């Protein structure tokens, strides 16, 4: 009886040891397969968008966005002004040689006055803030400048996909899903600033359809913000390019804009308007 009990205990112990060993191995194998599949899909998508070489060889890119912006959604339903979306024009320029990014915005702000701003981000963790309407400007040394540069340049799908590959160690395959009547492959990665981004890629054409993240809003709490690209077409300089971008916050549309783009060098984007006083 003692011998039988000993044999039974030994088998149980060996089984437990086997499970203890194979369990982590199975998890590591699954994680590796997920990582490799996600990397493959993002590489396919970057190639489908035309890669980065044409943009880099041209010296950079310019993206122009024009449409509407909902201040009430941005202020979590607490805007004291009109509930109607306000017109907005944005221009984002990336200089490939210096790494600088310029951002222009023309819209009505929270105080119901016209806002005409230019922000220039350099590679030294600094930003020049220019009020084009009042001809006033100043340097702002902030630690999140590289972070802000990435957030702005993500408007161009191929830049976001390249960022995902740069963060390849965090890439994971989530699985297939349905979005706007299309089958998409969903992958996730963690950006350099720690944002967990979920990326949806068209299964057939491998084009970027959406990117989402969960953010913490003061009044709404945890809420999803999602960027959706649509109306893809051929562009002489930019290759395959989306002509529309919609940003939603929760279940409300925050921004709905048409997109235009060009590749090249745009030095005017990094200048202050004549007469501007830089403090």
Which is nearest to 257 in space by CA: 247, 266, 270? 247
Count CB-CB contacts under 10 A for residue 207.
22
The per-residue DSSP string of 186-200 comes to EEEEE-TTS-EEEEE
pTM more than 0.95 = no
Which is nearest to 208 in space by CA: 168, 169, 244? 244
Which is nearest to 182 in space by CA: 199, 202, 198, 200? 202
Tens-level pLDDT at each residue, the chain (279 residues): 444 434 444 655 655 555 555 555 556 677 888 889 999 999 999 999 988 888 888 899 999 999 998 877 666 555 555 567 889 999 999 999 988 999 999 987 665 577 888 888 887 777 888 887 777 777 776 655 556 788 888 999 999 999 999 998 899 999 999 887 889 999 999 987 788 999 999 999 999 999 999 887 666 678 889 999 999 988 776 678 899 999 998 888 989 999 999 999 999 998 877 666 665
Identify whether the C-beta of residue 98 lies closer than 8 Å to the C-beta of residue 110.
no
């Amino acid at each position: 009886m003692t011998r039988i009990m000993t044999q039974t205990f030994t088998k149980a112990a060996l089984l437990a040891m086997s499970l203890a060993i194979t369990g982590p191995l199975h998890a590591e194998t699954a994680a590796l397969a997920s990582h490799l599949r996600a990397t493959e899909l993002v590489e396919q998508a970057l190639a489908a968008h035309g890669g980065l070489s044409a943009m880099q060889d041209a010296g950079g890119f310019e993206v122009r966005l024009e449409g509407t912006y909902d201040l009430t959604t941005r202020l979590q339903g607490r805007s004291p002004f009109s509930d109607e979306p306000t017109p907005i024009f944005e221009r984002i320029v990336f200089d490939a040689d210096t790494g600088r990014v310029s951002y222009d915005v023309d819209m009505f702000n929270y105080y119901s006055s016209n806002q005409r701003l230019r922000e220039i981000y350099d590679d030294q963790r600094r930003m020049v803030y220019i009020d084009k309407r009042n001809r006033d400007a100043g340097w702002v040394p902030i630690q999140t400048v590289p972070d802000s540069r990435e957030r702005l340049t993500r408007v161009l799908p191929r830049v976001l996909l390249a960022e995902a590959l740069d963060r390849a160690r965090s890439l994971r395959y989530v699985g297939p899903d349905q979005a706007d009547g299309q089958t998409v492959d969903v992958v996730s990665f963690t950006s350099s600033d720690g944002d967990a981004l979920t990326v949806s890629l068209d299964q057939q054409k491998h084009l970027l359809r959406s990117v989402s993240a969960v953010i913490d809003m003061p009044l709404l709490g945890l809420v999803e913000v999602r960027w959706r690209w649509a109306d893809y077409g051929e562009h002489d300089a930019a290759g395959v390019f989306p002509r529309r971008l919609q940003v939603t916050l929760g279940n409300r549309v925050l921004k709905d804009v048409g997109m235009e783009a060009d590749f090249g060098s745009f030095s005017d984007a990094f200048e202050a308007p004549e007469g501007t006083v830089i403090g």
